[in-house]
Structure 1
Amino acid sequence: MNKMNLNLKQVKNYWSFVMAFLLVAVMSSCGGDDKVGNENMISGGSSKTWKADKELTASGDKDKLTKEEKQETMQFYSDGRFAMSGGGSLETGTWSYDQAGKRLSLTFEGQDMSENFTVEKLTEKEMHLVAGDGSKMELKAD
């Protein structure tokens, strides 16, 4: 049996960001442009910062981002690391992108878990992600 040393606040912050992240991807998928670029578009030459712009629930309803969620950022580094910050917390880990499978995977440092997203759109300025539960998030590059 795996043990996880997370307090309730950390879990809540993590899931709030993940849900916001996923829901934004849903909003962008409604636009009809399904271009999916390469991993360099995620991280840029050395790093790139993304912010949630819009999100949808799994049923397709708009889910308004809170002020705190709008301040959360996700920075992807070209060496495969990421840093997610917001609400006074910082989560780090590694990421990988399978362009052919349109799959973005995040593995959190010190935690026995990973998150996998379907990438519906990826350009230099936009990334639309769909979570396993069907919620979507649209991210904009800073």
Structure 2
Amino acid sequence: MNATLNRVKTSWTFVMAFMLMAFMASCGGNSDDAGNANMISGGSSKTWKADKELTASGDKDKLTREEKQETMQFYSDGRFAMGGGGSLETGTWTYDQAGRRLSLTFEGSDVSQNFTVEKLTDKEMHLVGGDGSKMELKAD
């Protein structure tokens, strides 16, 4: 009888430990969280700046002074404006949270630029281009 009770206690402890680990893994705080569209645009708009670029092979791609000055502003109504150094480009954006895909369509063009969202928080956004290059952005 004691042996059976010990096996039940051991099994119960294992099940509880497994459930606790599964619960912790599903909770927030996961650094590769897909975030949501509101994290991109904020309540009405949010401005982002490039912080770091990596080539497709993972090598650091030094940002030029001009690139460091460029900003991307996302509006909650699905519009965006990107500019710096006297140039301004506008268009629309969509975010597919389940697919982790950010799409930008520039005004006057039917072609979209699509990025995989590797990380999205209120302060950081890591994008991967179709060629494998990466850009890390910080919210202003």
Distance 2:109 2:92 in 1: 12
Distance 1:93 1:124 in 2: 22
Name the residue aligned to 1:94: 92
Instruction: Note the residue ranges of structure 2 that are not aligned, 5 or more in a row.
Output: 1-29
Instruction: Note the residue ranges of structure 1 that are not aligned, 5 or more in a row.
Output: 1-31
Q: CA deviation at 1:125?
A: 0.2
Q: CA deviation at 1:112?
A: 3.3
Write the mapping of 1:1-142 to structure 2, written as runs, cut at 5 A: 33-142=31-140
Q: CA deviation at 1:113?
A: 1.9
Which residue type is aligned with residue 117 of structure 1?
F
Name the residue aligned to 1:17: none
Distance 2:116 2:42 in 1: 20
Q: CA deviation at 1:84?
A: 0.2
**CA-to-partner distance for each residue in 1:73-114, whole Å, 9 max, x for gaps?**
000000000000012100000000000000000000012321
Distance 1:36 1:114 in 2: 20
Which has the higher Rg, Structure 1 or Structure 2? 2
Aligned-partner SS, 1:37: coil
Distance 1:120 1:74 in 2: 18
Aligned-partner SS, 2:138: strand
Distance 1:92 1:99 in 2: 22
Which 4+ runs in 1 deviate beyond 6 A?
none
Aligned-partner SS, 2:105: strand
Q: How many aligned residue pairs are there?
A: 111
Name the residue aligned to 1:16: none
Which residue type is aligned with residue 109 of structure 1?
E
Which residue type is aligned with residue 65 of structure 1?
L
In the superposition, the TM-score normalised over structure 1's length comes to: 0.76
Distance 1:86 1:114 in 2: 21
By relative contact order (CA 8 Å, sep 6+), the higher-ranking structure is 1
- Aligned-residue sequence identity (percent) comes to 87
**What is the root-mean-square deviation in Å for CA atoms of aligned residues?**
1.1
In the superposition, the TM-score normalised over structure 2's length comes to: 0.77
Q: CA deviation at 1:69?
A: 0.3
